[in-house]
Structure 1
Amino acid sequence: MMRSWIWTLILLAAAVGLALTVHDHGGNVIIVAQPWRLELSLPLAVVLALVAFVVLHWLLRLLRWMGNSPDRLRAWRGRRAQRRDVELLERGWINVLEGRYVQAEKDLSSLLARTRSADRKVLAGLSAARALHLLGEYGRRDQTLRLAQEGAGQDSRLRQAVDTVTAEMLLDQNRAQEALDLLEPLQDASSRFLHATRLLLRAHRQLGHADRVYALTRLLLRRSAIDEAQARLFICESAAQRLDAVDVAGWNALWGDLTADERLTPVVALAGARAQTRLGRPDDAARILEAALNRQLDEKLLRAYALCDAEQARQRLGHAELWLRSHPDHAGLLAALGQLCLAAQLWGQGAHYLERSLALRADIHIHALLGNLHDALGRPDQALRHWRQACEAADAELPQIQRPLPAADTRGDPQFLQGVPAAAAMLSPDAPVAASAAYLQDAADEALEAVPTPVAPPPAARPASSSTEDDYFDTAPIPGVDMSLTSDRNREP
């Protein structure tokens, strides 16, 4: 607005100056062109010259505008096509994000077929491939990805984008090796492509490459490109896999690369203890487990700590009893103490710990240990009872059968028919003879009676054990306990 006023003032000033100049000069202008002769006043000649200049100027601009019309029309068409492409691309991505994959694929495929821009062609192809991937149409997805790859041409940036998106979709199908072949060229020393590095980590995890998972997780953690909790999980899992295959030469380097906090996690501590036991270092294995158990009384760690020979059992009992002071009602710790007592042949104290653990929690492990204890003491009846209870506890975790299974057809077994009572011959010839000598009938055969299974005579009663209750408990000293303070024999009346 201000510029218009300024130009208006300039033009008015020029007009006033021109009028004053012309008023003072009253000459004539004669133009002779045989056979014509034109005579004009000077002011009129000046005005006509200015008008001619302006008309010529605008005429030249009109000719120039008409000459540039094809270029201008092409530019207008390009802007219109770009606007339409952007609208299709935006609508397609919104449909993908909202889950309308069919409509998204339709819009993006239309854009892929009509656009002339390499960037938009690649973007449309990758977006349409993503929609088809989520629809489960993998054949059409691969065809769309090939079109996007062709649209990328020799542009390295677009080709990397196509390879990254393709690898991510392959990983969703657990085709890790194919994804790895696409991602390996993108991994360089600078690790600029953090998303490609994350996909590379995912591919190595699917393939079980523990060394690469460990290294890539460390790299992403240093660059703050991965969640710390997830990185800790990946590091511990891969470290445990590496420890399971470590040898004597590589132990120090592998164990020393782990932080103190990582060494105390249950999965790493278990793997380290297994490795040290395999390498013939039970004392080092015990120290690894003790350090982890001092932090947390994990069930798996306790069971691994209780698995040792008699020489190690007495030493480990002392450490375990220290944990018992602060955790007197820990069922897993009591079971581990009982197992250690069994390894050290401290039968009485082992039974004490196992019974306390059984009172807190009845499971397969404790019943099995009590069965082993009674079997070692020559009490088969009690051992069998606990083993049966262990089987019942295991059976409780299995799916229950809601209807009885059909009877087994044993009519073709001559050895079985020899032991079947004569009453079984009264059954219908179409009815199969059950393995238990009884037939579960259908509703249509309710008139038939099942043949009862012959009851075997009871076994002869076993003679009662001559061992007394005092003989049941051994007299071996308990580690860490002063028996002079607990025995009644040393006390004076």
Structure 2
Amino acid sequence: MRFALWITGLFALAVLVGLASTLNTGYAILFLPPYRMEVSFNLMIVLVVALIVATHLALRLLALAADLPRQVQRFQRQKKLKAARHALREAGIAYFEGRYQKAEREAAKSLDDEYAPENRALALLIAARAAGYAGAADKREGYLAQLDKMPERLQLARHMLDAELRLEEKDALGALAAIERARALSPNLTNALRLELKVRLLQKQPEAVLSLTEKLLKADALEPEQARRYRLAAYQQQLTGLLSEREVRDWLRRIPAPESGNPQLQQQVVAHLIRLQAYDAAATLLAEALAGDDMELPELARELGQLAAHLSVDKRLELLKDADAWLKQRPRDHWLLLALGRLALAQQLWGKAQAYLEASASIQPTLCAHAELARLFESTGKEELSQQHYQKSLELALSQGC
């Protein structure tokens, strides 16, 4: 439609020009001594228009010729810029592929001809991270130094990268300094809090770990399972600093029930109490775990059996009174039966000890069960039965060794 309108308009203009030329009968005189020329006024108009057009075209050609070097430079610069940004894309792809040497090489290649500060900062970040993974510490520090010259709005990424690199090198103080610089630029940055949480854990500062865990959990920056693991790690670090049975008891009262009932933490608390020679307290914790319906670690029952010889008489009798309740919940737990047999054996309750140990060996023959039975029969003067169980324990030891 537009083309048809243009054609129609051109034809109308041609008709108007033709009509105007027939109406105009004047002429123009061109005088250049000693010459004198008379031409039609219409022709004069055509010649003037043609001269203007020719002059315009000549000037355009001269301008293009004069601007040609600048256009060549611009073309070359655009070509180099295109190559630089292609190298930057290749660096990003290589980095996520795990090809860190190529990523660092391509990112460095893109720096020479890139002028946009955001792209230069991205190239330097990739190059520094890739150089760190490739083990080129000198190159990494060089890229980080170049990042220091970037505008302030790009410094947050530089400080966060620096914090991650320092944390990977176990440089807790350097990582904390970088985190503080990042938080000065963005106080509410949750990723900085996550990095600080890891640093505090590395520094063995459990109180700070617990505080940061709660902050991140409230900000939905940590999954509940992750928060649980961090809490347990903090509690484990606190445990190592407790020097008496009373301190351990007070500490356990301060821990929330979900964490204090964790089997792995309970096992470590028991081990710590044993190191403090607080055997009765360790046995009390093991008994509480055995009384629960969801005991996850059978090693707790085994630990109780190993404590039998160190416990007071009252504690052994107390534990043996609870035996029936434990066995109702776990009637085929051979480790529990072995523990009860050791308790009865230490208390010289020969009949009970024999019953528990034989039940344990019948469910799962173990070297420990047969060795304890051999010791029991030896103590009661039944040498033949004692030798039979010593033989069975020896056979089990040899089979496990092979």
Q: Is TM (by shorter chain) over 0.5?
A: yes
- Cα distance in structure 2, aligned partners of 1:131 and 1:313: 61
| Contact kept in structure 1, 2:85 and 2:110, CA below 8 Å | no
1:84-483 → structure 2 map (5 Å cutoff): 84-96=83-95, 106-112=105-111, 119=118, 121-135=120-134, 138=135, 141-152=136-147, 153-156=149-152, 158-187=154-183, 191-192=188-189, 194=191, 197-219=193-215, 229-243=225-239, 245=241, 247=247, 251=251, 254-256=254-256, 260=258, 262-270=259-267, 285=285, 289=289, 293-303=292-302, 309-317=312-320, 319-342=322-345, 346-363=349-366, 366=369
| Contact kept in structure 1, 2:273 and 2:281, CA below 8 Å | yes
SS in 1 for 2:293: helix
SS in 2 for 1:295: coil
1:10: Cα distance to partner? Answer: 4.1
1:266: Cα distance to partner? Answer: 0.8
Structure 2 alignment gaps of length 5 or more: none
- Cα distance in structure 2, aligned partners of 1:173 and 1:317: 52
1:349: Cα distance to partner? Answer: 1.6
| Contact kept in structure 1, 2:129 and 2:140, CA below 8 Å | no
| Contact kept in structure 1, 2:156 and 2:182, CA below 8 Å | yes
Distance 1:84 1:3, change over 3 A: farther
TM-score w.r.t. structure 1 length? 0.59
1:321: Cα distance to partner? Answer: 2.4
TM-score w.r.t. structure 2 length? 0.70
Structure 1 alignment gaps of length 5 or more: 401-493
Could you tell which deviates more after superposition, 276-285 or 85-94? 276-285
Could you tell which deviates more after superposition, 273-282 or 96-105? 273-282
Distance 1:329 1:229, change over 3 A: same
Distance 1:162 1:24, change over 3 A: same
1:80: Cα distance to partner? Answer: 0.9
| Contact kept in structure 1, 2:94 and 2:102, CA below 8 Å | yes
- Cα distance in structure 2, aligned partners of 1:182 and 1:390: 60
Larger Rg: 1
Could you tell which deviates more after superposition, 323-332 or 62-71? 62-71
Q: What is the aligned length?
A: 388
Moved segments of 4+, more than 2 Å: 2-78, 86-135, 154-194, 196-254, 262-265, 268-291, 300-323, 335-348, 358-375, 377-398
* Superposed CA offset, 1:93-129 (max 9, x none): 5555556555555545544566666555554455455
Percentage of matched positions with identical amino acids: 26
Q: Write 1 or 2 for the structure with the bigger share of helix.
A: 2
CA RMSD of aligned residues (A): 4.9
Q: What's the counterpart of residue 80 of structure 1?
A: 79
| Contact kept in structure 1, 2:128 and 2:140, CA below 8 Å | yes
- Cα distance in structure 1, aligned partners of 2:215 and 2:394: 48
* Superposed CA offset, 1:138-181 (max 9, x none): 3xx12212321232214345544444445545555555554444
* Superposed CA offset, 1:324-362 (max 9, x none): 224221112212333444566644323321222133334
- Cα distance in structure 2, aligned partners of 1:385 and 1:245: 47
